[in-house]
Chain A
Amino acid sequence: MGEAQIDATLKGEEIGNLGLIGLKLTLRLCYANFIVYLILYVTGMYINIYITGGVNTIGISDPSNMIHMVAAILNFVFTFIVMVVGFLYAMRKVAMFSLGAVVCLIVGTLGGLVFLETGGGRLSGAVTLAAGWIMSILFMLALFLSYYATLKIMRAIKVLQATNRT
């Protein structure tokens, strides 16, 4: 591929200055993050259906709750790392999508805290229900935003590979 063709291919693309190896490493982190999202979702649904029945509360030291909280910590850390990588290595879209996901996770966690503090069950009142909905909706939104950030990283890798750059 000639220089002119390479320039044409790179025009409008956001490849940043991380390099191919760094991008691949970040992509692996994104995959790990999706596994954590899955664990978070499965443990959350398990607790909701089999332990609380959507009505009762759960003890903080319950094993399924501890797995859920550890997964939440990992999820937040991984998403935050992708955001910082985006900012440090000039990948604006990756940074902005991940920033959105981080904000969603923070507000969603606050919603979860309000949910627990106001009763933690379906029958605990309107505020509890609203907080529960906020938690669930923002979790899904964070998942979609992380997905788009991952797509941008995959795109940058494809472009670098197509132009034989490292």
Chain B
Amino acid sequence: MLDPSQSKAATSTPRIKPLLYLIYLQAISLAVTYVAGIWVAITVHNISFNLPEVLEHGLASSVFVLLTGLVGFIAALQGEKKVSMYNFVLFLITVLTGSTGFALLGNPGDATQIAITNLSMMASVAIGMPVTGFSLAKVSRISRGTAWELSPAAIMTYIALGALSLTIIAGAAASSTPLYAFAVVTHVGFAALTVALVLGVLVVSILEGAGSSTSNWEPQRVAYSLLGLASVSVAGGDGVIYLTSGNLAYLVVMAEVTVLVYAFLMIAIGVPYRLDTLARRRR
């Protein structure tokens, strides 16, 4: 007999699939918004709403807001209260931070406005990362019809996403002169914590397999966390080179590689490509 969560999963699977695809699209739009935003912040000096870079960022962020609202509402219809609530809060935060972008477009030379916009938008991106991670983990479990239980690797992946978010916020604060020293130290600290946690995800994923007492072991998670570790190491290396050389190109690369870390951690949570499916069928 199925337990309540499995029974719920079994009945709601056909309707939950579109929600799962929407969460993947939401994560992709978040990544694109972040990359386009970093590109605007670093390369555009006289910001104006009709510049192609600003329009691209605006378009990507609009898609992200739209998908966040959609995921929140569809999750509410499916009875997924936590997923719905977190996405609703993220939706409100993103709309409010979007309005700081409008304020920046009106006062492009104001240093305070630049700092407020940078920090609030980065905070929105940073909150979006763990929220999309949680939504994906919860919904992909229901979609597969497996019980909702948190493995040590999954918990560590959430914490790694949280640490990555804080690293991004601290990095954004470094663009403000009064906060520079504190922000750089905090950014480096959180970046080191992120590296340690991604390494932890890798180790715990391997250990879960070695124990093999759990039927929910995901061997792909080892590969994804290894790729995440490689990405976070490259991002860290880029940061060090930027600090010593001052070349902005390294800063852009660091931000863009950070998106890869987010992507690999998200895939490690969702594990969409189940390579062991055939083996399970044979069993």
Contacts and interface: CB of A to CB of B under 8 A. Distances in A.
A107 interface: no
A133 interface: no
A76 B69 CA distance: 11
Contacts of A81: 69-70, 73
Nearest to B48: A60
Contacts of A59: 106
Contact of A69 (B65, B66, B73, B102): B102
Contact of B106 (A22, A60, A80): A60
B66 to A, nearest CB: 5
Interface in A31-85: 59-62, 65-66, 69-70, 73-74, 76-78, 80-81, 84-85
A79 B70 CA distance: 10
Contact of B105 (A18, A61, A70, A80): A61
Interface string B60-91: 00100110011001101100000000000001
A69 B103 CA distance: 11
Contact of B76 (A25, A73, A84): A25
Contacts, number: 56
A7 interface: no
Contacts of A84: 70, 74
Nearest to B98: A73
A89 B18 CA distance: 11
Chain B interface secondary structure, helix, strand, loop or mixed? Answer: helix
Given A62-B106, A73-B95, A74-B95, 15 more contacts: A22-B77, A26-B77, A61-B106, A66-B99, A73-B65, A77-B65, A77-B66, A77-B69, A77-B70, A77-B91, A80-B69, A81-B70, A85-B74, A89-B77, A117-B50
Contacts of B62: 73
Interface in B35-67: 49-50, 62, 65-66
Interface size band for B? 20 to 34
Contacts of A62: 106
A25 B77 CA distance: 8
Contacts of B107: 61
B74 A60 contact: no
B255 to A, nearest CB: 25
B77 A18 contact: yes
A96 interface: no
A120 B62 CA distance: 24
Contacts of B104: 61
B97 to A, nearest CB: 11
A137 interface: no
**The 5 A-B residue pairs with the shortest CB-CB distance in the complex, in nearest-first order:** A61-B106, A77-B69, A22-B77, A61-B103, A60-B106
Interface of B: 15, 18, 49-50, 62, 65-66, 69-70, 73-74, 76-77, 91, 95, 98-99, 102-107
Contacts of A151: none
Contacts of B66: 76-77, 80
Nearest to B22: A84
Contacts of A69: 99, 102
B103 A66 contact: yes
Given A77-B66, A77-B69, A88-B18, A61 B102 contact: yes
A29 interface: yes
A143 B252 CA distance: 43
B115 to A, nearest CB: 16
A66 B102 contact: yes
Interface string A7-29: 00000000000100010011001
B99 A80 contact: no
A124 B77 CA distance: 48
15 contacts: A25-B77, A26-B77, A60-B102, A60-B106, A61-B106, A61-B107, A66-B103, A69-B99, A69-B102, A70-B99, A73-B62, A74-B95, A81-B73, A84-B70, A84-B74
Contacts of B105: 60-61
A85 B15 CA distance: 11
A29 B88 CA distance: 13
A81 B74 CA distance: 8
Looking at B62, B91, B102, the one whose CB has the most chain A CB atoms below 10 A away is: B102
